[in-house]
Structure 1
Amino acid sequence: MLMPSPIVVRSLLARYASLAGQDSAAARQELEQVSYTLCVTTATTTIEDALAAAEVLAEREVPTGRQEMSTAAA
């Protein structure tokens, strides 16, 4: 199973948090897009589930070399 990069997940979570507090049409539209991306990235169907899954994924360490990557894939 493919796992999203923790860096990507952290970026999506940060963007979601930033947009959630804004009240403009543009921010709402972008929040909808980020929410969709979080759902797709975490293989979930609701933003609540996506946020919970993303928090877990974001805590993973980023592999730094081939050894870590091959171990993570096993």
Structure 2
Amino acid sequence: MLMPSPIVVRSLLARYASLAGRDSATARQELEQVSYTLCVTTATTTIEDALAAAAIMAERELPTTRQEMRPAA
């Protein structure tokens, strides 16, 4: 299974958090889009599950060397 980059996940979580407190038509539409993207990115079907999965994924560290980027043999 492909894993999304922690940078992408962190960005989605930040965007979700920034939109969650707003109450405008535009913000609600953007929140719906970010929620959908989080669900797709985390392979979940509810935003609650997506947020939980994304929090775990966001904690992963990025590879720092080319060796770490190679898949395990």
- Identify the TM-score tier after normalising by the shorter chain: over 0.9
What is the CA deviation profile of residues 8-46 of structure 1, one whole-angstrom value per residue up to 9, with x for unaligned ones?
000000000000000000000000000000000000000
* Paired positions, count: 71
* Structure 1 moving runs of 4+ over 4 Å: none
In structure 1, distance between residues paired with 2:17 and 2:53: 15
The TM-score, its normalising length taken from structure 2, stands at: 0.93
- Matched residues, percent identical? 90
Q: Which moved more, 1:59-68 or 1:10-19?
A: 59-68
Gaps of 5+ in 2: none
Gaps of 5+ in 1: none
What root-mean-square deviation, in Å, do the aligned CA atoms of Structure 1 and Structure 2 show? Answer: 1.0
The structure in which a higher percent of residues are helix is 1
